[in-house]
Amino acid sequence: MRLLVLEDDQSLGPWTEKGLREAGHVVDLFTDGKDALIAAMGQDYNVLVLDRMVPGLDGLSVLRALREAKVTTPAIFLTALGEVDDRVAGLRAGGDDYLVKPFAFSELLARIEVLVRRGGLSEEQSSIVTAGDITINLHKRSCTRKGQPVDLNPKEFLLLEVFLQSKGRVQTRTMLLERVWDMNFDPTTSVVETHISRLRRKIEKPFGDTVIRNIRGTGYVFEPAA
Amino acid sequence: MFLSRLHRLLRLSAVRQALGFLLLFTAISIVAWGGTFFLVSRDMQRTVDARLLDRMEATIASLDAGLGLVVSDSDELAGFVDDTVREGFRTEDIKGGSDEVRYLVRPTSHGRLQLGENTERQEELRDILAGGMQISLAATIFLTSLLGLWIARRSQDRLNVVSSGLAKVAQGDLGARIALSGNDDLSLLADRIDGTTARLETVVTQMRVQSSNIAHDLRTPLARLRAQLETNLLALLEQDRPVEAEDLESALEQIDRLTGTFEALLRLARIESGAGRDAFQTVHLKNLVAEVVDTYGPVVEEAGQTLDVAMQDATSILSDPEMLVQLLANLIQNALRHGAAQQTISIRLHGPRLIVTDQGPGIPFEERENVLQPLHQGEATRQGEGYGVGLSLVRAISELHGAELSLSDGPNGRGLRVTVNFPKLTKL
């Protein structure tokens, strides 16, 4: 994938660039907002990674200009800790996601992948979602595996739904908190871990295999048997 | 030099006031005496004129009777004048003297008759009046200036006390107080300023304590982190033992925890600044509690504890739902962390009142105020984990919602009971 990274920090920029390259992406790193804007207007990128505070033109203005020019490339903002309200401002300017510094690299990678898929998949949602031998019905809120009904409580169902829709992609703890619990703060207790272990007890244990894999220090990935 | 001094003096409001009074009293004095002077002299002239008219009639009658001109008084003058003298009343100074004469000229069958009257006495009276006026004016100006200066001096002194007190505060001495004696509006103002300074002093002291708590709370994990990384670096350099992924993972975890503390502190600051109140909406407490219980029920269960929830007459309140979730989540987390093993955490909702009770050691009375401050290191908590930012977030969120927050003992004096009483939703 082709990514544009706008980040003026001397070490964070190259570090991000290197990490994304190693993950198999083509990366253009910019340290000036104007240069990034010109590049994003002229070339096709899959995802834009924009820092809020950069010289020349800040990330917010860059994206606003792009959206006005009908450039719909998905964008993710990187914001410094101090600017909690940035989230709203960033989404209003046309951003698709945001990430607060300091962030885990795996978190950035996972979110970039979500953005790319979201762009390609474009809401072809039906009420029945199937992955491997697991099927959920979004209307009836019911779940079956190998034809056997699995009884899930509302949060477990939502969790499974998120996993099914992001098959094979890493879901970080914070991503799950946002999507399943609508929590934008970090509950210091093991909310995510607990619910996942309960879901596993119902969806894996009776069938004697593993569909949700734990990726240490990052999150979880849903990998149903083909 | 003198001008600049004068200019400085004129800037003092008391001096300005005194000057204003001086002008006002002088004007009143001038108007009063001038008016009297005018009225008295007009009246005196009218009397003289009436006498002259009477005499004119009598003289004409006497001339007609062939008796000639009669003068009965040394002040009185009578005679015939030629046509050049104008008819009617006129006033004339007598040559060489200060005396004044009032004349009346009338044509008669005997010729142009002129009668006169020396007005020396009226003149004297007028002089006395004018003298009195001057003395009074001088006295007014003198006394008003004196009084003005005294008042100006007095209020300036009081103002100086206020101003020097404020200067001390501005220089950073928040313990300074104005303490102005007296019982007037100025001392009232000084009292208000003192009250404000006292509040400021408390807040600043609190902030200092908080910053040092924060520094302390962050320094310890930073030191641990540093030691850990250093050990691993040494191991890597000297190759005396393999560096495990776990070592680095634990370092990352610690960084995440530090970041979390930072984030919570920023969130706290944001809530305390009153931001977010404009995002308030009507939230049904029952739904919200049920949602949080859905999330935390399994967590409490996994910890080998029980969550006991009862709701009665649950109402709606005006709130930011995300903050409310955080409030309840923090209360449950606090109960989990500081409660007893295998305890029952109870959540009660009566109308707009939310009560969370644990069965832990509780918090001693004198510590209750303190644990609501971020990263407070209490005697009771020094061994274990501190209270972190959780309860202070609860306090800040309660304050933002105008809710009453109180900490008390649980039933039978055991455990901690946290009560958050939200204001009832008033229908518009």
CB A160 within 8 A of CB A176: no
pLDDT at A64: 92
Q: Could you read off the pLDDT of B8-29 as tens digits, one per residue?
A: 777 777 778 778 888 888 898 8
- Chain B (318-357) residues lying within 8 Å, Cβ to Cβ, of chain A: 322, 325-326, 329, 333, 336-337
**Signed CA dihedral, A190, A192, A198, A204: sign only:** negative
Q: What is the pLDDT confidence band of residue A125, given thresholds at 50, 70 and 90?
A: low
Identical topology for domains A2-121 and A128-222 = no
**What is the mean pLDDT of the segment spanning A86-94?**
80
Domain A2-121: CATH architecture, name and number where available? 3-Layer(aba) Sandwich (3.40)
Decide if A85 and B252 are in contact by the 8 Å CB cutoff.
no
Decide if A190 and B249 are in contact by the 8 Å CB cutoff.
no
Decide if A191 and B299 are in contact by the 8 Å CB cutoff.
yes
pLDDT at B383: 39
Q: What is the pLDDT confidence band of residue A226, given thresholds at 50, 70 and 90?
A: low
**Domain ranges (residues) in chain A:** 2-121, 128-222
Q: Could you read off the pLDDT of A191-206 as tens digits, one per residue?
A: 999 999 999 999 998 9
- A153 close contact with B: CB closer than 8 A: yes
pLDDT at B277: 79
10-residue stretch averages of pLDDT, chain B, 428 residues long = 75 78 87 88 89 88 80 76 83 73 86 85 83 87 85 83 90 87 85 91 85 79 88 88 83 83 83 81 92 92 93 90 91 90 93 93 86 69 56 91 92 90 78
Cβ-Cβ pairs closer than 8 A, A with B, add up to 63
Decide if B275 and A153 are in contact by the 8 Å CB cutoff.
no
Kindly report the three-state secondary structure assignment for every residue of A74-141: CEEEEECCCCCCHHHHHHHCCCCEEEECCCCHHHHHHHHHHHHHHHHHCCCCCCEEEECCEEEECCCC
Task: Report chain A residues whose CB lies below 8 A from the CB of B259.
Answer: 81, 102
DSSP H stretches of helix in A43-85: 59-68
Q: How far is A43 from chain B (nearest CA, A)?
A: 36
Nearest to B325 among A82, A153, A183 (CB): A183
Tell me which of 2.60.40.10, 3.10.510.20, 1.10.10.10, 3.20.20.60 is the CATH number of domain A128-222: 1.10.10.10
pLDDT at B347: 95
Higher pLDDT, A109 or B155: A109
Q: Which residue of B has its CA nearest to A105?
A: B252
ipTM > 0.85? no
CB B322 within 8 A of CB B360: no
pLDDT at B395: 92
> Before B411, cis peptide (omega within 30)?
no
- A104 close contact with B: CB closer than 8 A: yes
Task: Report chain B residues whose CB lies below 8 A from the CB of A191.
Answer: 295-296, 299
Task: Report chain B residues whose CB lies below 8 A from the CB of A176.
Answer: none
Taking the CB of residue A79, how many other CB atoms lie within 10 A of it?
24
Task: Report chain A residues whose CB lies below 8 A from the CB of B263.
Answer: 81, 100, 185-186
Closest CA to B332 of B356, B302, B359: B356
- A102 close contact with B: CB closer than 8 A: yes
pLDDT at A34: 92
Q: What is the pLDDT confidence band of residue A213, given thresholds at 50, 70 and 90?
A: very high
Q: Which of A7-11, A114-118, A122-126 has the lowest mean pLDDT?
A: A122-126
d(CA A19, CA A110): 12
d(CA A222, CA A205): 15
Decide if A182 and B262 are in contact by the 8 Å CB cutoff.
no
CB B135 within 8 A of CB B32: no
Decide if B299 and A190 are in contact by the 8 Å CB cutoff.
yes
pLDDT at A212: 93
- Chain B (56-115) residues lying within 8 Å, Cβ to Cβ, of chain A: none
Q: Could you read off the pLDDT of A12-58 as tens digits, one per residue?
A: 999 999 999 998 889 999 999 999 999 999 888 999 999 988 888 88
Backbone angles phi, psi at B344, to 5 degrees: -110, 125
pLDDT at A122: 45
pLDDT at B381: 44
Q: Which residue of A has its CA nearest to B335?
A: A189
Decide if B295 and A82 are in contact by the 8 Å CB cutoff.
no
